[in-house]
Structure 1
Amino acid sequence: MKKPSMLSFLITLLLAAAVCTQGSDEPVKDISGNPLTISQQYFIQPVKTESNNGGGLVPAAITILPFCPLGITQTLLSSQPGLPVSFNYQGFTTETIVHTSAQVNIEFESNIWPVCTEFSKLWEFDDSSSAREERAILIGGSRFSHNSSFKIEKAGEGKGENTYKLSTSTGTVGAIPGGWSGAPQLVVTNDDAKTLLVKFVKVVGDYATTTSTSRVEKLGLRMFPFY
Structure 2
Amino acid sequence: MMSSFPLVSFLITLMLAAAVCTHGENRVNDTDGNPLRTTAQYLILPLSPRSNGGGLLPVPVKLQPLCPLGISQSSVKALPGLPVSFSYPYAIMDTYVNEMEAINIEFKSDAWPGCEEFSKYWEVDESSSASEEPAILVGGKKHERNSWFKIERKEPFYGGIAYKLTTLTGTIGTVPGPWENAPQLVLTNDTAKTFLVKFHKVHGDTTATTSTSRQEKLGLRMFPF
- Give the TM-score of the pair, scaled to structure 2: 0.82
Q: Deviations over 1:67-108 (max 9, x none)?
A: 100000001211100000000011220100000021000000
Q: CA deviation at 1:220?
A: 4.4
- Between the aligned partners of 2:55 and 2:208, the Cα distance in structure 1 is 16
Alpha-carbon RMSD across the aligned residues, in angstroms, is 2.7
Q: Deviations over 1:119-161 (max 9, x none)?
A: 0000000012221110100000000001000000001125373
Residue 155 of structure 1 aligns to which amino acid in structure 2?
Answer: K
Q: Structure 1 residues 159, 197: closer, same or farther in 2, change over 3 A? A: same
| Paired residue total | 205
CA contact (8 A) 1:43 1:202 kept: yes
Within-5 A mapping of 1:51-130 = 52-130=51-129
Partner residue, 2:141: 142
- Unaligned runs of 5+ residues in structure 2 are 1-14
Partner residue, 2:43: 43
- Between the aligned partners of 1:57 and 1:213, the Cα distance in structure 2 is 15
- Unaligned runs of 5+ residues in structure 1 are 1-14
- Between the aligned partners of 1:36 and 1:64, the Cα distance in structure 2 is 36
Q: CA deviation at 1:226?
A: 7.1
- Between the aligned partners of 2:49 and 2:224, the Cα distance in structure 1 is 19
Partner residue, 2:200: 201
- Between the aligned partners of 1:114 and 1:175, the Cα distance in structure 2 is 21
Q: Percentage identity across aligned positions?
A: 50
CA contact (8 A) 1:53 1:76 kept: yes
**Structure 2 residue matching 1:155: 3-state secondary structure:** strand
CA contact (8 A) 1:111 1:209 kept: no
CA contact (8 A) 2:46 2:197 kept: yes
Q: Structure 1 residues 137, 223: closer, same or farther in 2, change over 3 A? A: farther
- Between the aligned partners of 1:34 and 1:204, the Cα distance in structure 2 is 15
Residue 159 of structure 1 aligns to which amino acid in structure 2?
Answer: Y
Residue 220 of structure 2 aligns to which amino acid in structure 1?
Answer: R
Partner residue, 2:11: none
Q: Structure 1 residues 213, 175: closer, same or farther in 2, change over 3 A? A: closer
- Give the TM-score of the pair, scaled to structure 1: 0.81
CA contact (8 A) 1:73 1:225 kept: no
CA contact (8 A) 1:150 1:167 kept: yes
Stretches (4+) displaced over 2 A: 22-25, 157-161, 208-217, 223-227
